[in-house]
Amino acid sequence: MRRIALGSAAASLVAGLLVSPLNPPGQAVARPDHGGSEPPPDRAFQKVTLNDRPGEPMDLAVLPNNDVLHTTREGAIWLNDASTGVNRQVGQIDVYQHDEEGLQSIALDPRFDGRKNRWVYLYYSPPLNTPVDDPTTPDVNEGDAPFTGTPADFEPFKGLIRLSRFQYNRGEIDTSTEQQILDVPVDRGICCHVGGDIVFDSKGNLLLATGDDTNPFESDGYAPLDDRADRNPAFDARRTSGNSNDPRGKILRIKPKPGGGYAIPRGNMFRPGTPGTRPEIYSMGWRNPFRIEIDPRTDHLYVADYSPDANAPDPERGPAGHGKWTVVTEPGNYGWPLLRDGGAALPGLRLRHRDLGRGLRLRRAHQRLGAQHRAHRAAADGAARRLVQLRGVRGVPRARHRRDRSDGRAGVRLRLPQPVHAASGGLAEALRRRPAAGGVDPRLGQGDAPGPAR
């Protein structure tokens, strides 16, 4: 096995982080036929250490000649030379760092050839004017956002994560060639879940995974649903994953345009101009889809989503957590933060919907009677029934049959749910509370992100 001559270190970039099947430049990789269901055998892969002191490694992109670009959260971009195994730094992006933020992902343009097309895409946190820690004051961290306060206290920590592309010229990432594609808002100075990953489908559409940008540590491992008036918005995942008008906690699908920016491809969840929605959204209701991959033959999207942190189910608050891989074949709402696995947060319930242009068809909720759900059924049976019956629980779609007069097609409009205030007492308490007379909370317009009461 070829190794990189960098000396020993505690961390290595190896299989599971950075692994590439090796083939000579210009030679196609053999694709043995395994009947479409069996994985390739281990002998089809070679584990190669790319860097045994990588810093905090995040992502990689394999160039046509088998050289590998790999990144660190601190903003460094390294090149591993496939012929020599030597690493050298080929770029540095100035990034904001706090908890998980920094340089998240790297991807090549689908037409990258190193000559006519040299675009490399990065998803990173630009510094902006966000407060940072002052090392001369060891007793306080000025870069930490307050847990409680007023909107004015939280405003300095409003930031963004940027998707841009850069030219890879003469073996270097040329930062002067940046073309900005898309900005995703983020609440800085507090943990967690910023995603994100980049893949391209067979039509050249870019898919970007984004996290719910929500702190999970103050809700005992269960869904964070805290919208108290003085609470930092980062403790309520309904404002992001459960909000059709926010790009966080989503899989976004766009078509990059020459010169920067993007267009909206057909087939996303919401048609452009639909009130209270973002047309970039292909799939929503995710917690932290940290890694995604795409099948180039079918365009099926494989999503690795990190689950809640609870070690055991609680009848008042939801299920135990686990990570999962999900295959996404069509637009849909996977339910976080009030549902998980398309319904497993309330075991036995599964909701999915399909884009129909001007309307969304909401498939009938149905029971999944697998072993896991039977194990949790007693804990959440009553809560699941209440969820189905209740009107207006924020984060859970409410469907109303309608006929679109413009084209005559029958469909179902996905109505944005009304707010539930669940600062304490857990999920079951939230489900028991009905909206006040008149329905919609006057603080919120359709699709608005829930925030502190004003």
DSSP track, 243-301:
-TT--TTEEEEEEE-TTS-EEPPTTSSS-TT-TT--TTEEEE--S-EEEEEE-TTT-PE
Topology of 55-432 in CATH? Neuraminidase (2.120.10)
In 134-188, which ranges are E strands? 158-169, 172-187
CA torsion, points 139, 145, 151, 156, in degrees to nearest 10? 90
Q: What is the pLDDT of residue 338?
A: 84
C-alpha to C-alpha distance for 25 and 67, rounded to whole angstroms? 10
Q: What is the pLDDT of residue 152?
A: 95
User: Please, is 131 exposed, middle or buried when counting C-beta atoms within 10 Å of its C-beta (0-12, 13-18, 19+)?
Assistant: middle
Taking the chain (454 residues) in consecutive chunks of 10 residues, what is each chunk's mean pLDDT?
34 43 40 61 89 90 96 96 94 94 95 96 95 89 91 94 96 97 95 92 97 91 90 94 96 96 96 95 94 94 89 83 88 86 44 31 29 35 32 33 30 31 32 33 33 32
Structure tokens at 103: 């340089």
Q: What is the pLDDT of residue 304?
A: 94
C-alpha to C-alpha distance for 66 and 81, rounded to whole angstroms? 8
Q: What is the pLDDT of residue 428?
A: 33
Positive or negative, the Cα torsion across 16, 18, 23, 29? positive
Domains of the chain, by residue range, sit at 55-432
CA torsion, points 264, 207, 362, 395, in degrees to nearest 10? -100
**What is the distance, to the nearest Å, from the Cα of residue 412 to the centroid of all Cα atoms in its chain?**
26
- Which is nearest to 419 in space by CA: 436, 401, 400, 402? 436
**Cβ(309)–Cβ(321) below 8 Å:** yes
C-alpha to C-alpha distance for 427 and 441, rounded to whole angstroms? 19
